[in-house]
Chains A and B, each alone.
Chain A
Amino acid sequence: MEGKKTIEKKESRRTFLKKSALASTFATLAACGSDTSWEEFFQKNFRTLDDDDKKKIIERLENKYTEKYGKKFSVSSKDPIDETLFGYGLDISRCIGCRKCVYACAEENNQSRDPQIHWITVLEMAKDKGVDLFHSHADYDRELVPEDDHFYFPVACQQCENPPCTKVCPVGATWKEKDGIVVVDYNWCIGCRFCMAACPYGARHFNWAEPDVPKDEINPVTHYYGNRPRMKGVVEKCTFCIQRVREGLYPSCVEICPVGARKFGNLLDPDSEIRYILKHKRVLVLKEELNTQPKFYYFY
């Protein structure tokens, strides 16, 4: 009699495993935040999906964002334009370091205000030192710019032709698109931050907390790989304003720059501004020795 009682109390190995598997699944789901739906949790890598699946995801996201921010959202999944390879030019002789691009970028691309994420970092450099990252400052606080004897060197994603960041991603959540833009599938990103360690330009940024963008400042015109609202625990970066440039528009940093130091165009079009710059101006790329082959050209 005594022996039988103990057997009844004991859980079989099978039930124990079943229960613990269920419990851990729910724990993971719960940890992902209450607004993560079942479909979202089991969503596949966006790049591998067919148009129907993409459409369903886009629809779900549009509804989710519209509900969250009280504004009609559009999430584009527009593919690259044929025969297009984007290149960017920045005239370091004309940039005055006003940082207008930094904030225009944050507004256009829905970057978290607190904790603050900026895709563009403007470095102040002394003219007598030249392009010298070691002696540059991002936190300069001047009454007026440009400061005498200094020049300014904005740095964002260099959209490398040979990007080190995409190679280290263990899950394939980031890659280079046909038009040269390096993108992230935020839903597939596991937040390991290997890409941030691999990027020699400090161009990738991590959402350490739930991104905070005021409802009245959110930009509802978005792209899946671009400025759609991100979540805590994913990496984000400059996409040349993918939501704008795939529609033919200039990136918003180009639009805002008060001195017209920022240039943008199609490297495959011999008549483009960027090709004119490459042909006629003195051009340099940042950290050329690393063979990342940036498509972001500084010139003067």
Chain B
Amino acid sequence: MTTNRKHGLSILIIFFVIIVTTPSWISGQESAKESQLIQVPPPPFSEDIFPCTECHGDMEPNPERRILEEMHDDIILKHDEKNRWCLDCHDKKNRDKLHLANGKLIDFTESYKLCGQCHGPKLREWKNGVHGKRTGYWNGKKKYLLCAHCHNPHSPKYKKMKPEPAPADPMKGRK
């Protein structure tokens, strides 16, 4: 009996210790992880294009869905273009912001939230460091890139590039 009681007591103590220490341990780890994160370079705007209000400030917004001809005609939308256009992501009233589907305004620096509305699994992988590029320290501070650093939001398919030269022929001069 006594041994059983002793056992019961020690199990209780162990439980107590676990319950008391666990939350602080988890939160401590999380904050350590948070502090390692995140440094993101500024969004990749075309030159002299931001802030948008510089031009759009006094302009009456035209909410009509159309193909732009006077300005921004270099932007060719190839991103679900049949169903979307500029003002589905860019905010009509506050031109320096983007908006989510629920109308919430976000900065261009948080554009990944906008992308993640459709590309949920990709956003999850980006947050876990699998999709996208991280540089810096494998055991410390890392630098991330925004989605828009690699994928042009208007035409997101990654562009082909010229490869570096093929390796030298090892039989060169010996054939």
- Which stretch (B57-65, B72-80, B161-169) binds chain A? B161-169
| Contacting pair A260 B139 (CB below 8 A) | no
B67 within 8 A of A: no
Known contacts A121-B167, A138-B166; A260 and B160 CB within 8 A of each other = no
DSSP class of B's interface residues: helix, strand, loop or mixed?
A: loop
Chain B 117-175 interface residues, beta-carbon cutoff 8 Å to A? 128-140, 145, 150, 158, 160-169
Residue from B129, B138, B168 in contact with A248 in the complex, judged by beta carbons closer than 8 Å: B138
| Chain A residue at minimal CB-CB distance from B159 | A144
Residue from A81, A257, A265 in contact with B133 in the complex, judged by beta carbons closer than 8 Å: A257
| Chain A residue at minimal CB-CB distance from B162 | A144
| Contacting pair A249 B163 (CB below 8 A) | no
Name the interface size band of chain B.
20 to 34
> Which B residues are in CB contact (< 8 Å) with A91?
130
| Contacting pair B33 A271 (CB below 8 A) | yes
| Contacting pair A276 B128 (CB below 8 A) | yes
| Contacting pair A138 B134 (CB below 8 A) | no
A61 within 8 A of B: no
Closest Cβ of chain B to A203, distance in Å, is 14
Name the interface size band of chain A.
35 or more
Max chain A Cβ within 10 angstroms of own Cβ: one of B145, B162, B163, B165: B163
> Which B residues are in CB contact (< 8 Å) with A263?
129-130
Closest Cβ of chain A to B171, distance in Å, is 11
Closest Cβ of chain B to A115, distance in Å, is 8
Could you tell me the distance between the alpha carbons of A276 and B127 in the complex, rounded to whole angstroms?
11
| Chain A residue at minimal CB-CB distance from B32 | A271
| Chain B residue at minimal CB-CB distance from A264 | B138
Known contacts A144-B162, A248-B137; A138 and B129 CB within 8 A of each other = no
| Contacting pair A102 B169 (CB below 8 A) | no
| Contacting pair B164 A103 (CB below 8 A) | yes
Q: List 21 A-B contacts (CB under 8 A).
A: A91-B130, A96-B160, A99-B166, A103-B164, A114-B168, A116-B168, A138-B167, A141-B165, A142-B163, A144-B163, A248-B137, A249-B136, A250-B138, A258-B133, A258-B161, A259-B150, A260-B134, A265-B138, A271-B29, A273-B130, A281-B130
A residues near B, CB below 8 A? Answer: 81, 91, 96-100, 102-103, 114-116, 118, 121, 138-146, 245, 248-250, 254-255, 257-260, 263-266, 269, 271-273, 276-277, 280-281
